[in-house]
Structure 1
Amino acid sequence: MDFRHLRAFVAVAEELHFTRAAERLHVSQPPLSRHIRQLEQEIGVALFERTRPRVVLTAAGHRLLRLAQDLVATGEEFLGVARAIGDERGGLVKVGIGPGLWQAVDRVRAYHATRFPYVSLETIDLSSHEQADALRRRRIDVGISRDPVNSSRLWSEPLFDEGLVVLLPQGHRLATRQAVRLKDLAHDTLLLHDRKLAPVAYDRWLGLYAAAKIAPKTMTVPALPLQQAALLQIASGRGICLVSENIVRNSFLSVDGSHGIAVVPLKEPGSRISVSMVWRANEKSSTVLELLQSSRDALRLTRKRVRTG
């Protein structure tokens, strides 16, 4: 069985679109379609129902997809290890970065480069809830995430924690405070993103209000807190929102006060968020495991500098 045939099957099954699958594999559509036909002929069953403009998995395709994904992941792991063996000093680690966490990853990168100068880091922006799937599919090797891990196939370890801030209209009565509590905001409308965009954050914000015994008036905005639609709602006085301090720190909101929005720290019990690194439980690559150790070391040194500064 040709490994290219399995990769083609997985790509089309996940995209459910031949053109997008071809772009993902960096091939043209005719050879991709040929690989699918050859695989179907070899195994003796149809994998897809081709009804334009849709592509749908058959029952057999559904049953075989997970096995094919595992085989492709194992094959790619084999290729990665083989390449690393070819140059034992080098290698590549793919890292998923949650919003606002690039500075932490950059500290790890700089530290790791002093220990393993021939190892490269390839980074990709992924929301925390997307990283678990990316790890399982081997799109990334390590994730830097705010979400808890609930899978026996993944391990996680806390690296540091961060606080929350409240985004208020510039003219809000609390805009000049050094810090606020949720009880101070009990009568303000809480702007919430669509839960499917970031489910853990959504549940966390409402959980904080529930713990404070406050039932806030809410309004759903089809955007995350620092996207333009949400910022316009805040600046126009329609409501407030909660967001991680690091997301704000790495945005234009931290530059000056000319944007119509005030940023005020939230001092509320249970409001600090743990940031963790996440990786596959069966990880054997020394290149990946060495990056995990560098993450521990680099961020521990940073925390010590902060405490003694």
Structure 2
Amino acid sequence: MKIDSLYEYIVLTHYLNFTTAAANLHTSQPNLSKHILELEQELGVDLLKRGKRLELTPAGTAFLEDAIQIHHAYKDALRRAREIASHDIVELVVQEPYVMDAMSEILFKSVMRFKRENPYVLTKYYQEKGKKSVELLEQGKIDIALTVDCNSIEWIEQVSEKKNLIFFPVIQEQLHVWLWDHHPLARRDAVTLEDLLHVPINMTATRSFDPMRYAVLDLFQKSVGARPNLQTYSNDSLNEFFMNTQDRNAVFLVSEAMARSQLLGMHYDMVSLPIDDERARITSYLLFRSDYQKLAIDRFLETVERVVADNIERSATASYLGDITVEL
């Protein structure tokens, strides 16, 4: 179907006269009649009643409404394409989140808003199995990465200085423990890090998620002076990892938002409890190279700030952006 034929049909329905419509379209009456007949044959319906007076059939009236919308959509698409073609297009690649938690909600809403407000920036997600965030940044495959830390910035300072990276804190949440409802700890209102010291803690072995494992190790070492009992499982994604709950003696450490998520809620015989310790807080960061050249990164961070300010449901127990505090 030719877009020109749609426009000719729209004009013809306005005048309901082939001669007058052809004159306004700067074409001949036979040529216009041929195009409309070809359109009817392609659609397999009669659009017009041809007699002493030209009239629309019921099908012709219905098709007219759609034809007008299609024509307007085509003109809008053409305008956008020409505008983009006249500008230099910048690409912004963001690491895709692992699970639907508070950080991923902020990121998804920020990307959607950023795309809407910055049509000349080609924004897309990227994920590569087995690759760490820092590796993807160093290889130039992404512009903005994701990482986490459990309330200690020594590792961040070391990586930032060594790798020439900037850590942009977005949200800090209290850690929760997710466990089977028959677990001895499940009868408590809250647990402490000391309670978890000798309890098996499930962690993923996938390299992409190593920051969380290292953060948990560092948290226990600094807070209780001992190494926790981590059990590792190899999974392609965190969604798959959270389905691995066969060990009923083990627990999972999750963020506050993750503890309330639908993903974990599918396990009706498991519960989440807060860890009653101010040290047990997890901070989620956006990560990018300090020598970045793209102004789009600055604009994206501004978009994140606006999304956090007015487009998410804030938790009363979480901290955001400039209100985040970390301890050495």
Return the TM-score normalized by structure 2. Answer: 0.55
Aligned residue identity for 1:238: N
> Hey, what does 1:174 align to over in structure 2?
185
Kindly indicate whether the alpha-carbon contact (under 8 Å) linking 2:197 and 2:229 is maintained by their aligned counterparts in 1: no
**1:168-203 CA-partner distances (Å, limit 9, x unpaired):** 122113325443212333442333444856433223
The residue aligned with 1:146 is 148
Find the counterpart in structure 1 of residue 282 from structure 2. Answer: 273
Where in structure 2 are the equivalents of 1:107-186 lying within 5 Å? Answer: 107-125=109-127, 130-146=132-148, 148=156, 149-150=159-160, 151-175=162-186, 177-186=188-197
Measure the CA separation in 1 of the matches of 2:232 and 2:130: 20
Structure 1 segment 230-269 matched on structure 2, within 5 A: 231-232=243-244, 234-250=245-261, 252-253=263-264, 255-258=265-268, 260-269=269-278
Compared CA separation, residues 212 and 178, structure 1 to 2 (3 A): same
1:295 to 304, 307, 315: 304
SS, match of residue 109 in structure 1: helix
**1:108 Cα deviation after fit:** 0.8
Count of residues paired in the alignment: 222
The CA deviation string for residues 101-154 of structure 1, in whole angstroms up to 9 with x for no partner, is: 421111212332453245442112469971222122221111232253434532
Give the % identical residues.
Answer: 19
Q: Which runs of 5+ in 1 are unaligned?
A: 1-83
For structure 2, the residue ranges without an aligned partner over 5 or more in a row are: 1-82, 150-155, 317-328
Given that residues 89 and 116 in structure 1 are in contact (C-alpha distance below 8 angstroms), is that contact kept between their aligned partners in structure 2? no
In structure 2, C-alpha distance between the alignment counterparts of 1:286 and 1:197, rounded to whole Å: 27
Q: Letter of the 1:181 partner, please give it.
A: T
2:217: which partner in 1? 206
Name the CA shift for 1:305/1:229 in 2 (closer, same or farther; >3 Å). Answer: closer
Higher normalized contact order (CA 8 Å, seq sep 6+, divided by chain length): 2
Deviates further, 126-135 or 173-182: 126-135
Matched, 1:95 2:94: yes
- Please tell me the root mean square deviation across aligned C-alpha atoms, in Å: 3.7
Code of the residue aligned with 1:277 in structure 2: it is L
Partner Cα separation in structure 2 for residue 219 and residue 113 of structure 1? 40
| Partners of 1:99 and 1:247 within 8 A in 2 | no
**Separation (CA, whole Å) in 1 of partners of 2:314 and 2:201:** 36
Deviates more, 1:187-196 or 1:116-125: 187-196
Q: Would you say the 8 A contact 2:178–2:271 is kept in 1?
A: yes
**Residue 189 of structure 1 contacts residue 216 of structure 1 at CA under 8 Å; is this kept in 2?**
no
Distance 1:142 1:245, change over 3 A: same
Partner Cα separation in structure 1 for residue 197 and residue 186 of structure 2: 15
Contact kept? 2:170, 2:286, Cα under 8 Å? yes
Question: In the alignment, does 2:220 pair up with 1:221?
Answer: no
**Does the Cα contact within 8 Å between 2:148 and 2:215 map onto a contact in 1?**
no
The offset of 1:96, in angstroms, is: 0.6
Which has the higher Rg, Structure 1 or Structure 2?
2
Distance 1:251 1:124, change over 3 A: farther
1:235-288 per-residue CA deviation (whole Å, 9 max, x = no partner) reads: 4423223233444555521x3442x43222223232212222222222222233
Shift of 1:215: 4.2
SS in 2 for 1:184: coil
- SS for the counterpart of 2:302 is helix
Q: Which amino acid aligns with 2:175?
A: L
TM-score (norm 1): 0.58
Q: 2:103 aligned with 1:104, yes or no?
A: no
The question of whether the paired residues in 1 share the 8 Å contact of 2:202 and 2:233 is answered with no
